[in-house]
């Protein structure tokens, strides 16, 4: 009986050590996330939504602090590429004490679910949100076939 209790106690102690180390690993992970925003430099910047509205594909892109002159959009068939850069301007005579909004460049590409008509694409930038409407090409639109 005594050896069984010792074995059980050893097992529980080992489980406590494992739980403690696992908890500290997650705390270290959380500290890394807090110190560096992963979306600022990761592959998913800028954040983008793609919505199919039937005849169009609506693309909504978050690009705060980026002017329309600093954004490039390329479309070829069913391939969309977004690129650009955000600059950091310090007014003359000012001294920077803290910088959290980095000046960086970005590039993202998407394979769209269908080909779009690049000549009919519309885009607008308002309050840091780029909204594009990409109409389906005629070949990509479903056709009703009459049965005779």
Q: Please state, in angstroms and rounded to a whole number, the distance separating the CA atoms of residues 119 and 68.
A: 19
Give tens-digit pLDDT for 15-74.
888 887 777 766 655 554 445 444 444 556 889 999 998 889 999 999 988 889 999 999
* Residue 12 shares a structural domain with residue 64: no
- Domain holding 8, by residue range, is 1-35
Q: How far is CA 115 from CA 95, 111, 141, 143, in A?
A: 49, 9, 9, 15
> What are all long-range contacts of 22-25, with beta carbons under 8 Å and residues at least 24 apart?
none
CATH code, 76: 2.60.40.790
The dihedral formed by the CA atoms of 111, 112, 117 and 119, expressed in degrees to the nearest 10: -60
> Which of these ranges, 35-49, 72-86, 99-113, has the smallest mean pLDDT?
35-49
* Residue 1 shares a structural domain with residue 26: yes
Q: Which of 70-84, 99-113, 131-145 has the highest mean pLDDT?
A: 70-84
Peptide bond into 136 cis (omega under 30): no
Average pLDDT over residues 119-132: 94
Q: Which is higher by pLDDT, 97 or 111? A: 111
Kindly state whether residue 49 falls inside one of the protein's structural domains. yes
Total number of domains constituting the chain: 2
pLDDT band for 11, please (50, 70, 90 cuts): confident
Average pLDDT over residues 112-141: 90
Q: Please state, in angstroms and rounded to a whole number, the distance separating the CA atoms of residues 59 and 123.
A: 9
Kindly state whether residue 140 falls inside one of the protein's structural domains. no
pLDDT of residue 31: 52
Kindly state whether residue 8 falls inside one of the protein's structural domains. yes
Kindly state whether residue 96 falls inside one of the protein's structural domains. no
Rounded mean pLDDT of the chain? 82
């Amino acid at each position: 009986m005594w050896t069984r209790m010792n074995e059980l106690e050893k097992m529980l102690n080992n489980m406590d050590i494992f739980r403690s180390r696992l908890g500290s690993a997650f705390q270290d992970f959380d500290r890394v996330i807090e110190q560096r925003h992963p979306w600022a430099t990761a592959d998913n910047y800028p954040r983008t939504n793609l919505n199919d509205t039937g005849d169009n594909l609506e693309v909504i892109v978050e690009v705060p602090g980026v002017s329309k002159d600093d954004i490039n959009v390329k479309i070829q068939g069913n391939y969309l590429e977004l690129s650009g850069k955000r600059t950091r301007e310090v007014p003359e005579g000012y001294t920077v004490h803290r910088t959290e909004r980095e000046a960086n460049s970005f590039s993202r590409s998407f394979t769209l679910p269908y080909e779009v008509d690049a000549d009919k694409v519309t885009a607008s930038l308002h309050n840091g949100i780029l909204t594009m409407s990409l109409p389906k090409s005629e070949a990509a639109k479903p056709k009703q076939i009459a049965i005779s």
